[in-house]
Chains A and B, each alone.
Chain A
Amino acid sequence: MGRKLLLEHINVPGINTLKVYREKGGYRAVEKAIKTMSTDDVVEEVKKSGLRGRGGAGFPTGMKWSFLAKPEGVARYLVCNADESEPGTFKDRYLMTHIPHALIEGMIVSSYALGAHTSYIYVRGEMMPQIRILEKAIAEAREAGFLGKNILGSGYDLELYVQPGGGAYICGEETALLESLEGKRGNPRIKPPFPAIAGLYGCPTVVNNVESIAAVVPIINDGGEEYAKIGIGRSTGTKLISASGNINKPGVYEIELGVSVEDFIYSDEYCGGIANGKRLKAVVAGGSSVPILPANLILNLVNGDQRLMSYESLSEGGFVSGTMLGSGGFVVLDEDQCVVRNTWNFARFYHHESCGQCSPCREGTGWMEKVLHRLEYGHGKMSDMDLLVDVSKKIEGNTICPLGDAAAWPVASAIRHFRDEFEWHVSNPALAVKENYGLANYADPLPPVVAVEA
């Protein structure tokens, strides 16, 4: 069994209450940080831990904190990103539902480290039940003296509020989130300036994912060096993986970074294998935005070594044969799934969620959806695949925020790895609306990897 830092007590009855959470050692990190550590000490521990942002981009959290501008007399803000809308990702909801105090405790320690006196947790509006849970937890923490004025007699004041979103994937992008928190449409801002300089209300702001903030608690309790011993290489610590799709045991798993993908999919500790005795066709390993990989490439690297669940190993091979850890949304497709349909579905999602500010994203996502729709419904042309790649290239890198890239990558990678399936849709239009292409040569047991061209 791998070590659990965030979910260790998830099955303890009543762990959602302050009382039981405290019995299990909760709020020790607040006491330790506020009573015995300077704000710089806290930042230093987080740096030592090697913790990387769990929201998708994997930027080192300690480094992000140290970039925060600290002009005299200007408020600083910590905003927690609980917008969780990346298809395939449901770990933050799980954590907030079952152990809300882990997030509240992390918010207090992190706010203290950053010198923030007002902090917000921006939760997607659809998570109304989780918003109620967090509000209750905040009230309990305040009652116990962990929030409000003069926390634990230290002279440090902190107010913590929960803010609901309105239903928009783009508000997960940090500058769109800040716009939304200011009561505006969720249009991402042009950077620079980065939020560390001018964020909420134009003040220096740090935006961190729920899981990143919760991870600060064990880092302070055990020390950054202890945390960094878990994991592999620059992928330190544990990571929550949301596993969904055609597996025996969908759910949220806390893994030590570095377990093999094969173990993660097939062992009983995690996904428990492919459902209904089927075979594995493909995996979207880090939420809908990352490249999809066929079974052979997700399980093994091109050199034949096992692929591991870590930032580095998942991205090994770049976009030619690799993918990304992203938000840890691990979506498994079995032999009966249609890659064309799944790609069309994701393209529709990005078209629907584009905020419309940049033409390449607004128009390009629409075109990709349209072309994929006609491929899926038997009206495609052989030239459509190149057309899609061309559109995706024109979006990638040409937009204000990374949603454009996130829309382009799934399409480009599906065509790179599954072109024969797309071609089959074009040559067999009548058949393609009735049945699926099936497994082809992607499945386990693994065929030898043939030369993969750039």
Chain B
Amino acid sequence: MLSVTETQEIVFSADLLNKCGDIVSRYPDGKQKSALLPILHEVQAVYGWLSPEAMDKVAEFLDIQSIEVYEVATFYSMYFMRPQGKFVLEVCRTGPCCLVGAEKIMHYIGEKLGVKEGEVTADGLFSYRGVECLAACGYAPVLQIGPEYTFYENLTTDSVDQLIENLKKKI
């Protein structure tokens, strides 16, 4: 469900518009819709999630219907339909990772942050969720953090503690 939490005026920065224009130039004339997925990543990197207003702006930019953007954004797991913590810890929960303790790590992260999967901590900094195989099964357990999708591999409870401390310092 698309839920509108607050309406915000969306103005794409010159930098973002440049990036979007550059992406569109990769496809043949008239096939600018191909730019949709990459542009949604760029927009999410700026705003942290994809609000209906932001998606409407993308539709306008690509000269397609808003519904064409919504149906795509809701199909793919990387696009957030509501605001998230500043850092979203995405832990792989698929079979091979579970063979070497991914479930324990995920449970530990939940306890440490004191929130349920998908919820944001009170300070707005963190949320976490389970995601499917990240093509890093040999370095399990693993998690990733967007928007650059940095990988953290061979996780232990100690390395999770360390990671969360480091992220707090980055603020």
Contacts and interface: CB of A to CB of B under 8 A. Distances in A.
A164 interface: yes
Contacts of A165: 37, 76
Contact of A125 (B26, B33, B76): B76
Interface stretch (A81-89, A103-111, A298-306, A309-317): A81-89
Interface residues of A, number: 58
A124 B26 CA distance: 18
A34 B42 CA distance: 36
Interface stretch (B7-15, B110-118, B129-137, B155-163): B129-137
Contacts of A184: 33, 68, 72
Nearest to A118: B28
Contacts of A359: none
Contact of B37 (A92, A127, A159, A163): A163
A288 to B, nearest CB: 6
B94 interface: yes
Interface stretch (A39-47, A243-251, A377-385): A243-251
A353 B132 contact: yes
A349 B133 contact: yes
B35 interface: yes
A246 B99 CA distance: 7
B132 A349 contact: yes
B94 A183 contact: no
A166 B94 contact: no
Contact of B72 (A88, A125, A183, A242): A183
B138 A251 contact: yes
Interface stretch (B81-89, B120-128, B146-154): B146-154
A92 B35 CA distance: 24
B31 A244 contact: no
B78 A87 contact: no
Nearest to B144: A126
| A-B CB proximity, top 9 nearest | A166-B76, A167-B78, A183-B36, A183-B33, A167-B77, A244-B137, A250-B138, A128-B149, A87-B133
Interface of A: 75, 84-90, 92-93, 118, 120, 124-129, 159, 161, 163-169, 180-186, 201, 242-246, 250-252, 284, 288, 329, 331-333, 337, 341-342, 345-346, 349, 352-353, 355
21 contacts: A85-B133, A87-B95, A90-B137, A125-B41, A163-B37, A163-B38, A164-B37, A166-B72, A166-B75, A167-B77, A183-B34, A184-B72, A245-B96, A250-B137, A250-B140, A252-B138, A337-B99, A345-B94, A346-B94, A349-B94, A353-B132
